[in-house]
Amino acid sequence: MKGKIKELIELVHKMPESCLDDVIEYVEEKIEEHAQEETVPACPHCGGIAKRNGHKDDKQRFKCNACGKTFMKTTHTAMSYSHYGEAVWKQVVRDSVEGIPLEQTASGLGLSRETAFTMRHKILLALETEEALQPTILDGVCEMDDTFVLESLKGTKITGDHGRKARLHGAVAQKPGVSNEYICISTGIQRDGAAYCHTVTRAAPSKDDLTAVFEGHIGEAALALCDGAASYNALPENCGCPTVNVNEEQAGKFYHINTVNGLHSFIKETYTHYRGVATKYLNRYNALLSKAYRCGSDLADDIYNILCANNAQRHRTLRDVKSLGLLDI
């Protein structure tokens, strides 16, 4: 290739000046044609070849030559019908990963708080949908345990129907021990791989609760290290996963669950930084924290690629943000 470019440069030097303008014009046309071929996506409705068809909200619109429908690059993605472009969405993703307050995100991008909230929760819903479409599989040596966070009605006006008075930030439970004031987050993590967090109940989980959490998320070669809680017998009984009680000596040595305890610390530190997360949104944030723990610096790019994936199941409306998959326990 370098030899051909060198020959082309020599030919250009030998050309008369009167021909150079025509050559430059021809090269520029070819570059523009090549750029258009690369950036015009296939029709998300029928997969046909499309062409450019003006702009809307400063974003390129396309029209399919086959079915005649118009679309944008964000059609059938998590960013469908958004008025904002790539730069704004990428910044909202970065702020969500870094735990930046919504008010700061909104003021930095010139958005209203409601818009920033909707965009963040579309991102969280996309991650939750991605987990449903491509479940995290825990395999090899895994550690499994539960952690608990105090119920939060953040953003909800407390009335007599809730059965308790409003709490200040940093307040403690009124009942001792793991009572129904606490929300259980069941967690599993590979010693050298992925993490998975999910909530289905209050207080200590039962066998049925743990089956609901981990069924479909355990690989064939998984070995679960647990703290000996009887409810974790659900793993060998219902999920086919052998367990080891780390509180007992096994084969002449003791095991530990320090890795999953580190995940628990990360979860609690993050929720403290957020000044609490409303319980109804807990599984949305669990989906984010599962990916964020021990992640690399490219997590924001990975999440943005998920948002860009052309799949109608990832498209979420404002109504979905307010009602879809809310935790009600």
Which has more pLDDT, 5 or 50? Answer: 50
Beta-carbon count within 10 A of 206 CB: 14
Which has more pLDDT, 21 or 194? Answer: 194
Q: Once rounded to an integer, what is the mean pLDDT over residues 43-57? A: 83
Spatial separation of the C-alpha atoms in residues 198 and 287, rounded to whole Å:
8
pLDDT, tens only, 115-138: 999 999 999 998 998 898 899 999
132 class by beta-carbon count within 10 Å (0-12 exposed, 13-18 middle, 19+ buried): exposed
Spatial separation of the C-alpha atoms in residues 62 and 44, rounded to whole Å:
11
Residue with tokens 């599984």: 283
Spatial separation of the C-alpha atoms in residues 23 and 26, rounded to whole Å:
5
Spatial separation of the C-alpha atoms in residues 235 and 2, rounded to whole Å:
61
- What the block records as the tokens of 106 is 């909104």
What pLDDT does residue 112 have?
Answer: 93
Q: Where are the alpha helices (DSSP H) in the chain?
A: 2-14, 17-39, 86-98, 102-109, 113-133, 207-214, 234-238, 258-273, 282-292, 299-308, 318-323
Closest C-alpha to 321, from 61, 115, 181: 115
Residue 30 — very low, low, confident or very high, per pLDDT cuts 50/70/90? low
Average pLDDT of the chain to the nearest whole number: 84
What pLDDT does residue 17 have?
Answer: 72
Spatial separation of the C-alpha atoms in residues 210 and 234, rounded to whole Å:
7
User: Cα 310 to the chain's mean position, in Å?
Assistant: 15
C-beta of residue 86 within 8 angstroms of C-beta of residue 92: no
State yes or no: pLDDT of 184 exceeds 90: yes
CA-to-CA separations, 39 to 31, 66, 139, 169, in angstroms, rounded: 12, 18, 39, 49
Spatial separation of the C-alpha atoms in residues 143 and 257, rounded to whole Å:
6
The β-bridge partners of 195 are: 189
Spatial separation of the C-alpha atoms in residues 216 and 137, rounded to whole Å:
7
What pLDDT does residue 6 have?
Answer: 66
Residue 311 — very low, low, confident or very high, per pLDDT cuts 50/70/90? low
Domains of the chain, each with CATH number or no CATH: 2-71 (no CATH), 136-168+177-297 (3.30.420)
